[in-house]
Structure 1
Amino acid sequence: MQFEKLRTNRFNQWIIIHLRYLVGFAFLPSGLIKVMGERFTQVSTDNPIGYFFEALYQSGFYWNFLGLAQVAAGILLMTQRYALPGALMFFAILSNIWVITISLSFTGTWIITSLMMIAVIILLVWDHHKLHPLFAYNQHSAVKAFPDPERLWIIAGSIYSFSFIAILWLSSIKEDYTQWLSLVFGLVLAGTFIITNYKAYKNSGSLLKTQV
């Protein structure tokens, strides 16, 4: 099958692994802002967009809950191992955001959210075989086994998640030392990216482990 050929191609696997990192990170900044109880935008309430976000902000715990859901979806995607639940959460949340940006005529933002929708749909298609049992009512449905991301990428995802969150949290603290700590975490991110991809290259491009 064409899907099997695409799914087992090592370069495609590398792209999906890093697409999960990228899409997961996209939710962290806006999610953490909401978790910390801060406003997402400074647009005046005279503008429909500013009025909408101010109403959400004034909702209190619901604002925090939205942020927590975004952060959870981003982290799940970046773990690789739990990427499918993360993609499903991401799709549910992003669908609402996408419709909002179109209905309120966000200048240019709808283009970004549309690209994010395309990306998360690609991730869902990539793992769609894992969803088959959900739709096989009263029938036996076997899930075809494809190689999963090796431990290298799972560890990298944890490092990325922690470092991203640390940098974003430090940016909210107005102290001199936070700039140095942010720089350290930035170097950790860059180092993780270089080391993981170098190891993958050294291992003859073997991005995924063989399942037993």
Structure 2
Amino acid sequence: MIHLRYLVGFAFFPSGMTKLIGNRFTILSTDTPIGYFFEAMYQTGFYWNFLGLSQIIAGILLMTQRLALLGTLMFLAILTNIWIITISLSFTGTWIITSLMMIAVMILLIWDHHKLIPVLRYNQPITVKAYPDPERSWIIAGLIYTVCLLYLSFPGSVPRGLELWISRGLVMIIVFTFLFTNYKVYKNRNLLLKNQA
């Protein structure tokens, strides 16, 4: 579930960063409904930037683990709009990707359903079981992923020279973080199985 949060959170970084800095999301002709739609959104100005900022904030919240439910709810609101747009404008194949993203967000909501119970059962006495906070290593990994992926998602020219080495270094940091956290889970799982035996 933690890696699903990372994956879903990262999904918004490239498009969010593009919108936030004020670039066009697509170069499709305005003669097509999709191109016309994106051009109209781009021409709104601040709203275009606000959409990008919202996407980045939702992604960062998902990466934090501790505030992941808030990020999931934000992601659901934004993604529902994107999903309906891709279906209604007949995007070729994109609706499949957005549908899979919707399934992932639903899985995350189901996973955190216990946190939503007090909200859904307003003014009714209930006992909610306490769940442990995510381990510190997952929170640190989320921070590392966020910083590295935001830098790598920044649109611009193809990196050369020093920028290329920085990008390669960040990719290596991401891979190392992924391997380290998975090794830690594997090690903890083996320890837990030994204790149960």
| TM-score (normalised: structure 1) | 0.86
- C-alpha distance in 1, partners of 2:122/2:5? 30
Q: Equivalent residue for 1:54?
A: 39
- C-alpha distance in 1, partners of 2:127/2:189? 31
- C-alpha distance in 1, partners of 2:5/2:78? 16
Q: Equivalent residue for 2:101?
A: 116
Counterpart code for 1:145: A
Once the two structures are overlaid, the 10-residue window that deviates more, 99-108 or 149-158, is 149-158
Instruction: Give, in angstroms, the shift of residue 174 of structure 1.
Output: 5.4
- C-alpha distance in 2, partners of 1:205/1:60? 53
Q: How does 1:59-208 map onto structure 2 within 5 Å?
A: 59-169=44-154, 171-173=155-157, 176=160, 177-205=162-190
Counterpart code for 2:68: A
Instruction: Give, in angstroms, the shift of residue 129 of structure 1.
Output: 1.3
Once the two structures are overlaid, the 10-residue window that deviates more, 35-44 or 141-150, is 141-150
Q: Is the CA contact (8 Å cut-off) linking 1:84 and 1:127 kept in structure 2?
A: yes
Instruction: Give, in angstroms, the shift of residue 203 of structure 1.
Output: 2.5
Is the counterpart of residue 33 in structure 1 residue 18 in structure 2?
yes
- C-alpha distance in 2, partners of 1:94/1:156? 24
- C-alpha distance in 1, partners of 2:65/2:188? 19
Change in Cα spacing, 1:82 to 1:205, as seen in structure 2 (3 Å) is farther
Query: What stretches of structure 1 move > 4 A for 4+ residues in a row?
Result: none
- C-alpha distance in 2, partners of 1:95/1:19? 18
- C-alpha distance in 2, partners of 1:148/1:124? 17
- C-alpha distance in 2, partners of 1:175/1:91? 33
Q: Structure 1: any 5+ residue segments left out of the alignment?
A: 1-15, 208-212
1:126-152 per-position Cα deviation (integer Å, ceiling 9, x unaligned): 111111111223222332222332111
1:22-70 per-position Cα deviation (integer Å, ceiling 9, x unaligned): 1111111100000010000010000000000000001000000000000
Once the two structures are overlaid, the 10-residue window that deviates more, 61-70 or 177-186, is 177-186
Q: Structure 2: any 5+ residue segments left out of the alignment?
A: 193-197
- C-alpha distance in 1, partners of 2:96/2:153? 24
Q: Is the CA contact (8 Å cut-off) linking 1:80 and 1:157 kept in structure 2?
A: yes
1:150-178 per-position Cα deviation (integer Å, ceiling 9, x unaligned): 11111101100110001122x51556221
Instruction: Report the 3-state secondary structure (helix = DSSP H, G, I; strand = E; otherwise coil) of the residue aligned with 2:22.
Output: coil
| TM-score (normalised: structure 2) | 0.92
Identity percentage over the alignment?
A: 65
Report the aligned-residue RMSD. Answer: 1.6
Q: Is the CA contact (8 Å cut-off) linking 1:25 and 1:164 kept in structure 2?
A: yes
Instruction: Give, in angstroms, the shift of residue 18 of structure 1.
Output: 0.6
